[in-house]
Chains A and B, each alone.
Chain A
Amino acid sequence: MSGRVLVGVKRVIDYAVKIRVKPDNSGVVTDGVKHSMNPFCEIAVEEAVKLKEKKLIKEVVAVSCGPQQAQETIRTALAMGADRGIHVEVSGKDYDALGPLQVSKILAALAKKEEAQLIILGKQAIDDDCNQTGQMTAALLDWPQGTFASEVSLEGDKVKVLREIDGGLETIKINTPAVVTADLRLNTPRYATLPNIMKAKKKKIVNVKPADLGVDVTSRLEILRVDDPPQRQAGVKVETVEDLVGKLKEAGRI
């Protein structure tokens, strides 16, 4: 295989931030909150760049769907080693309703347009926790999928994927073109160095609209409300192991 890899990158609230639900229960506060690239997307970018470094593929294209700020996320991917970026601009109400179905339609359209051989995405975004986009993109293209990958090797025109499953690991071999979604243990993403950040500024990001790709972003899912989860009652500190075991026995837990 010596083709092109498309990587999807999503801008999300940083994983270390303690989120706040909006008082009107319409969603989560995002204004003025630190955002960064979804950790699983970083792993996807790293994997694509590694494939390029091994000369197994020739070009890495980073794609993000969202408002203007999505360009920062693409820049980060470029600084990590992606060759060029595509910003699919979606903003306002359309962005609020943008879900995996719409994103997968966009990615599928781009994969055809760019004649990609491989799409690498993160297995889930840490904000919506959907774990759907990769599977749906594969479906729309009728390509095979290697989800929750913790090892990927290109073997001729096939991809061998080690997958994290509930009871352990499994290995599958899928035809290319294919979609792969990255699990945490696939690799350790590199930090972008200052020279690479500077270089990334010169790399190209093209701007397109979903309509340019023939994708209708209407959603038939409606978020009725967003609430805080129930709070747990404050607990007690025990002084000794004996005390702990006694309390657990009293509570009927052991």
Chain B
Amino acid sequence: MSFKTAVLLLPLLFTSLIIGLSIINLSACNIYIRVGTGFLQRFQSTLVVAEHNNDKLTPITLNAITAASKLGGEVSCLVAGTDCAKVVEQISKVQGVKKVLVAQHDSYKGSLPEELTPLILATQKQFSFTHICAGASAFGKNLLPRVAAKLDVAPVSDIIEIKSPDTFVRTIYAGNALSTVKCNESVKVFTVRGTSFEAASTEGGNATSENVAPSSPTGISEWLEQSLTKSDRPELTSAKVVVSGGRGLKSGENFKLLYDLADKLNAAVGASRAAVDAGFVPNDMQVGQTGKIVAPELYIAVGISGAIQHLAGMKDSKTIVAINKDPEAPIFQVADYGLVADLFKAVPEMTEALSK
């Protein structure tokens, strides 16, 4: 036996030894295995809290599943809602998901965190996950910190990279610094930046599903209604092309120029805070530190100066185009292609050029 094979076999030997020992320990769910790197690590198991509307899985859940798969352990998904069948079917086929846990009850209407938290805690008690995560959407941001506090652990928000099962990278100061954090909590609770992880494939998976007992309703909050912005355009955070407008558009009517251009590019339309505050477009179109984070293949910023807070939401786009009449606008510092021009002339021209 060569030295090399001996080295290769050694960890294997340890593995069986340790697994052998831990069988006695199984009930405590602390299975220790020797992994390739030679570190003794707790066996990973991750719960992804699925976001959906009782009909469709929200795309960011697929990015969260990819992040969860990177941890190396088994991935389970929790689907809680008033009518889960369709979503359970979708998620069972997603690659990388081993088990779907299903909790159907009327009290999960509107995905209120007061109702979902006890359910997640009960699920955690039953399965002892090492990691609990969700996409860093309004849903995930609302829910996961509540779960973490109940577990008495510090959560990690909006991670962009997983270095190891306990070490994550996230941005701070509106994306102007990257912070590498080591989480020494017994359970790692985190949200995942959708644009930083590929979407898991929606085919080829073959997960089993299992019902979990719904928690008893707490009844301290009530969901009344929602008004969603309707649009035929692709969804902002997952669109390949985004056309965004700022204060330079001057009015809501003028945004039509951008919709026309977007239609030619099959693009989603975004906005700066100034455009939202001025009432040109609804708030859910805001891109930035405090709006949505996008990273499309092409981002076209029209009449946007490029404030720190706006850049935070689009700086990771593959190609950035800026159309602005002010050559000093900070947006030109991040733009791959910059056109110093009056948008009212340039945008219709561009739409025209794309019609040919």
Contacts and interface: CB of A to CB of B under 8 A. Distances in A.
A13 B173 CA distance: 9
Contacts of A165: 138-139, 226, 284
Contacts of A140: 149
B309 A15 contact: yes
Contact of B338 (A168, A221, A237): A237
Interface stretch (B13-21, B62-70, B91-99, B215-223): B215-223
A140 B335 CA distance: 45
A136 B149 contact: yes
B37 interface: no
A188 to B, nearest CB: 9
Given A138-B146, A143-B220, A172 B110 contact: yes
B138 A148 contact: yes
Given A144-B220, A220-B153, A244-B321, A18 B145 contact: no
Interface string B179-190: 111111100000
B337 A229 contact: no
Given A19-B176, A131-B141, A225-B180, A145 B113 contact: yes
B224 interface: yes
Interface string B118-149: 00000000000000000001110111111111
A162 B175 CA distance: 28
Given A226-B172, A229-B177, A132 B148 contact: yes
B272 to A, nearest CB: 12
Contacts of A233: 336
B181 A224 contact: yes
Contact of B172 (A28, A133, A144, A147): A28
A212 interface: no
Interface in A113-167: 123-124, 126-133, 135-140, 142-145, 147-148, 150, 160, 163-167
Contacts, number: 248
A222 B181 contact: yes
B155 A229 contact: no
A138 B149 CA distance: 9
B173 A253 contact: no
Contact of B173 (A126, A173, A239): A126
Interface stretch (B23-31, B78-86, B252-260, B348-356): B348-356
Contact of A135 (B146, B273, B283): B146
A229 B110 CA distance: 37
A165 B225 CA distance: 12
A101 B146 CA distance: 10
A172 B223 CA distance: 4
Interface residues of A, number: 80
Given A124-B290, A127-B173, A167-B284, A139 B145 contact: yes
A26 to B, nearest CB: 11
A241 B182 contact: no
Nearest to A124: B290
A232 B182 contact: no
A171 interface: yes
B298 A253 contact: yes
A143 to B, nearest CB: 7
A208 interface: no
A238 B320 CA distance: 13
A235 B320 contact: yes
B319 interface: yes
B150 A139 contact: yes
A175 interface: yes
The CB with the most chain A CB atoms within 10 A, among B149, B179, B298, B346, is that of B149
Contacts of A160: 224
B350 A241 contact: yes
B23 to A, nearest CB: 30
A224 to B, nearest CB: 4
A204 interface: no
9 contacts: A19-B177, A130-B145, A130-B157, A160-B224, A170-B110, A171-B225, A174-B220, A238-B339, A247-B337
Q: Which 5 A-B pairs have the closest CB atoms?
A: A139-B149, A136-B149, A135-B145, A170-B226, A132-B145
